[in-house]
Amino acid sequence: MSRRLEILRRATEIFNDQGVSRTTFEDIANAVGIKREAIYYYFKGRGDILAEIILPQSTALLANLRHIIRSDMSSPEKLRAAIESHVSSFNPSYLEMTIALREDHFVTKDEKLKELRRVWAEYSDLWTGLVEEGQGNGSFKNSVDPKMAAFGILGMCNWMSRWFHPGKGLSLPDIADTFSILVGEGLIEDKKKPS
């Protein structure tokens, strides 16, 4: 493993354990077994490290969602595929997603995080567009605000960063299935359906 990758891996673990804002270059250097000054050869600050940890996974999520939206699937199928894509990002990149979603990185003014904020803004917009598409073709209820619906779905999926542990509890496909049912069908049983 290259020194740069080792720094990123150890930083990811420490960011996950103690939070980004509470992690110093000294903490990362100690974990890697190098002097703090050596990290500056590769990175200017925590924002640089954070962007390199989170951006690849975020960019992959965005590319997957673009592909899903451009597909010829029905709107409900696209919604399910989008949920599955988002949920599946928690493994094997579990720590990266946890760090991406756990703290308020997106409000900082760090230059390196501008691209990350742009990716997440487009990702959110595409989710809203997916809901609007379904409303436009009669697949989804028009009585809900599409942006709020998109944020609600993402919030449900992103909350996994607080409780999901790979190998414990439900599998990612089972979680994606549960979330898809909740979003697509709701939780309340329709008593009016003919038996």
Can you give the pLDDT of all 195 residues of the chain as single tens digits?
699 999 999 998 898 888 887 888 999 999 999 999 999 999 988 888 888 888 888 899 999 999 999 999 999 999 999 999 998 887 655 666 666 665 555 545 667 678 888 888 999 999 999 999 999 999 999 999 999 999 999 988 888 877 877 778 888 889 999 999 999 887 566 666 555
Q: Give the domain 1-43 fold.
A: Arc Repressor Mutant, subunit A (1.10.10)
Q: How is residue 79 written in tokens?
A: 């919604």
Is the CATH number 1.10.357.10 carried by domain 54-185?
yes
pLDDT the model gives residue 189: 61
Q: What is the pLDDT of residue 172?
A: 86
Question: Which pLDDT value is given to residue 47?
Answer: 80
Would you kindly state where each structural domain of the chain is located, as residue ranges? Answer: 1-43, 54-185
Angle at 111 (CA atoms; ends 110, 113), nearest 5 degrees: 70
Q: What's this model's pTM, rounded to 2 decimal places?
A: 0.80
pLDDT score at 52: 86
Query: In this predicted structure, what is the pLDDT of residue 88?
Result: 86
CA distance 161 to 98: 5
Q: Does the fold of domain 54-185 match that of domain 1-43? A: no
Distances (CA, A) of 179 to 34, 52, 149: 44, 29, 13
